[in-house]
Structure 1
Amino acid sequence: MCTLEMPTATQDFAGTLLHTYNQAALTLMISVGHQAGLFDQMGTMPPATSVEIAAATGLQERYVREWLGAMVTGEIIDYTPETGQYHLPASRAAFLMRSSGSDNLAVFAQYIPVLATVENDILNCFKNGGGVPYAKYSRFHEVMAEDSGQSVLSSLIDQILPLAPGLTASLEKGIEVMDVGCGSGRALNLLAKTFPKSRFTGYDLCLEPLEVARAEAHKAGLTNVTFQQRDLTHFAPDQPFDLITAFDAIHDQARPDQVLAMIYQSLKQDGTFLMQDIDGSSHLHNNLHHPLGTFLYTVSCMHCMTVSLAQDGMALGTMWGTEKAEQLLKEAGFKHMSVKRLPHDAQNCYYIVKKEITYPKVYGI
């Protein structure tokens, strides 16, 4: 038997892998805690036993106790053996509770179990090509809506719209607005409620989130917003729009180039295209220190890239990058654009794109 010790670098890597597996398991438990409301409850409680926590949340104590074991060994929740009490410190609760708004990072943990449901389908694609269609994903639209609710909805009126000079004033007066890849329609319904003189139309490929959007619009009594199911790859609206928006939607399209060309053609002269998308580079080496790099490439492999391939698309993926985005915008016809970022949003950037006014040629002058 060899008695030589493994090289330090090898030991370090093995330790890194073990740490990774622990963190992956912890991510799953964070998702459970978020969905079960455990963080929301514990963030407002003094130190308590598992029995008290289960009673406060209406959950089964044995499951709560085992979940707490993962939280304690994962150094998220503190435990006092003498009293058998658990405590979620305020400094950690601030990043795990729904009431924290855009600071709540627990919502992102849900992507991991959602993506894991298509692992076998993705493996099949590795071997045989093709892609995994939207219909295969359980809860993806629900999680996406919650994610965008934090990153977009919370700042849409006060921070995102002002990135485009004069846009808020135009919406208050009344303009025609189209949202591309509207999903569950939370952004569009908020805009419709805030700007009753403007008219809003949302398009999406999937029926499931559109039904949610329509139900919420009906519940709110909104009459200035409609939602339609369309494959935007081969689509041309029957009217021009003053404003077109796309929130985290373009890179998922089968043919982003064709969709951007449609957007350009569908804008009125001097109209505005407001596009929110992932903030990253088209070049891998520029993403080595991206704070969410591994996470975003994983989401791309397990969702964004493959749903595009399922439609025989370009498969640009989540990390198509600002360079590729600007290239496709220019190829679509846009000449004037600016890329802006918001302090609270490390994941996205915002493209403010104008369709220039063209004047007829005047001869003889």
Structure 2
Amino acid sequence: MPDTAFLQSLIPSLFSKELARLATSTYGMYGENRRSSLAALYDTLQTEFGMKDDSVFLDLGSGRGVPSLLLALMRPKIISLGMEIDASSFYLSLRQQLHFAKNIVQSREEANPPPLRIAFGKGDCTALDTFEPATHIYTFDVGMPADVMISFVEIANVTRTLTAFCCFRGDLVEEFGLDGTLAARLPMSMHGSNERHTCYLYRMNDKHQDHHHMPVQQGGGRSGLCEGPSVAQLAAFARQGEGEQISVLEGLVETWLAPAAVSRPLRRCRTTITSPSPPPAATQVTKNAERKQRRKTGTTVSGRGTSVGATERGGRATGRRGRAKATP
């Protein structure tokens, strides 16, 4: 039997202070809901909106991937997908997915955790032709422009596999023309700030199409993740084994973190990310690692010099802005 307890033990790392700070400060525009709020949402989708083991969950504007990653850990048989236009947030989600995949593979000697069926794509969600084969869609649309939601609704209306659409606007039917009905409301709290919002759950009108019979759409890069992929491509990647996923994820994350990436031109895709410099979140991750290393060695470095914890011959060092002053 699969050991789901091991997957549960990975959940706290999703809400670590360092990663949450990267995603909710200047490095990302999206906030994140608390674990308990997301768990309540998943329970509601399961009991009232038909979410089951063969469902496909899609997070539009997935940030660093917490909703999809949490669902994958709580209900590993469900395919959990996310799509994000911001490069920094997207690569943070890949980094976390890679961490989980490696932990699962390494734990197989002692436990038997089920594989994670998850995938993230970088691209403009409004440029998609369809959300198929997604059955349940979630988007934290607080702060999103109205024209983005108009595009989401238009695509959702032609998605034949869609059962439920969850967002934080209560007027999608009347004002945006969603082909469905408002079926439930759920209070949710933000992680960190405890800010409260209401999640509105819409039941889509039945279009009678089983997502298992949807054809795979073409498009996207070799990995099917970075070049404006279709949702069907993401679902196909999520079904791959951990070995194949780890190989692809390691290559993408290594490219993101490597200093040499500064001189390499980025491949154009549907997104507007054209800056040749490393993403700010990648720079922050590197700085944090360097800071931890300096703490271990007892040395701090600043722009104006170096300050060592203690001078030779028993002297002590003090300094401002990296200038060392020795006292006899």
* TM-score, length basis structure 2: 0.45
The structure, 1 or 2, with the larger RCO (C-alpha pairs under 8 Å, 6+ apart) is 2
TM-score (structure 1 length as normaliser): 0.41
Larger radius of gyration: 1
